[in-house]
Amino acid sequence: MSDTAIAFDALGARVTAFRFSHLDDNAVDIVVGPANSNARHQDWTYFGAVVGRVAGRIAKAYFDLDGVAYKLEANDGRNLLHGGQKGFSSQIWTRDPLGDCSADQIRFTLKSRDLHQGFPGEAEVSAFYSWEADNWLELEITATTSKPTPLNLTQHIYWNLGGPNTETISDHLLQVHAERFLPVHEDLLPTGELRLVERTPFDFRSPRPIGECLDSCDPQIAIAKGIDHCWALNGIGFREVAILSDPHSRRQMSVWTDQSGLQIYTANHLGDGQIGKCDRPYQKHAGIAFETQGFPDALNHPHFPSIIVRPGELYRNRTRFVFTNE
């Protein structure tokens, strides 16, 4: 519909705005982001970007593959985060023309050279966005490689269904279709355990306010200063995995994916003077990211699903955000 607008930036193939109409109200931008494009180019929070070659952290910025050791460029203490300082989120992607159908579709492509940020193989990556006004936004990421390499990409949109005048997502209700989550060490790397959510703050099997979890005294919340954890999702194939709703605006968004994991991040490090849209200073927990992906640090946990892709294989990550008015 005419009130819905979505905006992109070739830097990181990122989504910079998504305006969603609510009943008879004007459309509201529900994507959290910096005040302007200049701020995006200095961004360290991955606002709206595709991140990779490997999302999440890799312990000691190192892995061994087929008997060969690969040393990566650490950018999070001794560890690597979201592909490194010059990962996919900081690259200028190529916007491919799509002919007559481009009104509701856009494709970005990127060629990552062999040993970029330390990863083996030349990777050719595509991020294909499609959308239907006020109903859904979908991203399909595909990639091939010239050598065996880890691939685990994701999208890093921060959502706030209340719009730019809603300071935090603490009152939003969250439901996650998962029985287990991945606890982390002090450096936010997974311990390797798949812990039951039952009797923990991470039990979102039924909808509940996110603030109840954020206010918990649980050591896992203290470590991350909020939520920065992966859930081991129920089911396989393309399915609904989470529902976010704002009781004040009555907007709702469901998350669909074909991935095994869902990393949820509640913008725990915003609030240090960053200025956002409408020139409002951001507070901690101003948005929430749903990072559909394989398990973080899977390279160092053999019992986690493998993220290694070999020549001739196709990497694929499909995610859809579906919007409704309650």
* Radius of gyration, alpha carbons of the chain: 19
Identity of the amino acid at 244: L
**What confidence score (pLDDT) does residue 132 get?**
86
pLDDT tens per residue across span 245-254: 999 999 999 9
Higher pLDDT, 15 or 25: 15
Is the CB of residue 208 less than 8 Å from the CB of residue 173? yes
Predicted confidence at residue 31, as pLDDT, reads 95
Helical (H) or strand (E) element with 111: strand 105-112
Whether the pLDDT of residue 2 is over 50: the answer is no
Predicted confidence band of residue 279 (pLDDT cuts 50, 70, 90): confident
The pLDDT value given to residue 40: 56
Lowest mean pLDDT among 37-41, 195-199, 251-255: 37-41
Distance (Å, rounded) from C-alpha 75 to C-alpha 323? 35
Cis status, amide bond into 310, omega within 30 of 0: no
pLDDT at position 271: 77
Cα(39)–Cα(58) distance, rounded to whole angstroms?
27
pLDDT at 235 over 80: yes
| Residue 304: band (very low, low, confident or very high) from pLDDT cuts 50, 70, 90 | very high
Q: What is the DSSP string of 82-126?
A: TT-TTSGGGSBPEEEP-GGGGGGEEEEEEEEPTTGGG--S-EEEE
Separation CA 108–CA 127 (nearest Å)? 5
Predicted confidence at residue 80, as pLDDT, reads 97
Share the mean pLDDT of the chain: 92
Most confident of 16-30, 92-106, 129-143, 292-306: 292-306
Cβ atoms of 239 and 201 closer than 8 Å: no
pLDDT of residue 140: 98
Of residues 20 and 66, which shows the higher confidence score? 66
Strand (E) or helix (H) holding 5 = strand 5-9
CATH number for region 5-325 = 2.70.98.10
Residues with catalytic function: 156, 291
Mean pLDDT of 112-116: 97
- Answer yes or no: is pLDDT of 22 > 70: no
Q: Closest by alpha carbon to 257, among 110, 141, 83? A: 141
Residues 166-188: tens digit of each pLDDT = 999 999 999 999 999 999 999 99
Q: Tokens 């948005």 label which residue? A: 287
Lowest mean pLDDT among 40-49, 96-105, 234-243: 96-105
| Residues in Cβ contact with 280 at an 8 Å cutoff, skipping those fewer than 6 apart | 164, 165
pLDDT band at 1 (very low <50, low <70, confident <90, very high): very low
pLDDT above 60: residue 101: no
Predicted pLDDT at 53 = 97
Higher pLDDT, 101 or 139: 139
